[in-house]
Structure 1
């Protein structure tokens, strides 16, 4: 009986330790999860809308983020997440020229030794913009790039009108 249990345990261990790693393309793939808006103020006490975007990603070769230290001059040249604000004008969404680009850095992620695939969620917060857009119909398009420069698919938020979409939070 002990032999049968021992053989059974060895077979179970062998079957569970030998699994095929699912492969994905080296280009990142992203999927929209959610977008929220809150009414708040910026550091100068100006009223602004602050958005939070969450999306999931899969990168087949695991080269997401960068090791550039945050205190170097290179930090401004290393961006991984790119957002574009679009405003509906005469039935067509048009890219808006903004004073500050919505471009963000992703910290370095280390892939596993046996499986280079990275999966996860990225949250971009403090997407602040002034209230002149408060009654306009807007949406964001966004994508990411990995260290090799592979560009992901482009995703978008649902269409929103800021004054109707705001979750008011007191200060």
Structure 2
């Protein structure tokens, strides 16, 4: 009997993160989920737009990650907005705590996905918020690059 292939292509991405933050560094963390949450994530019904991570003591928790209810799991369904613990090594949490103590830094989820072994993972980004003019400059730069690409493509 052959092994069932894992679908690693399903990836929920926080598209607003690149627009609103300068990403300084990224890391991967495990995610503690219930059964219906896993099924719902595999179906791709999650939102990361308002999510953030808070460190408390020696644990990390993700807030605002909305995983929609899984309809077939009637009586054993989960709360879509519950706080979920992240699996990080103690040293990683301590190092992140020191970095987060600096003014203006925050820890945000960039993507949620399943790795090769089928485990739910979160890609976290240590970030600093962008100012309004930084966002405008990034938009101008992207539009300018798009125009250049169009001009070279026509030739």
What's the TM-score, normalizing by structure 1? 0.27
Bigger strand fraction: 1
Q: Radius of gyration: which is bigger?
A: 1
What's the TM-score, normalizing by structure 2? 0.29
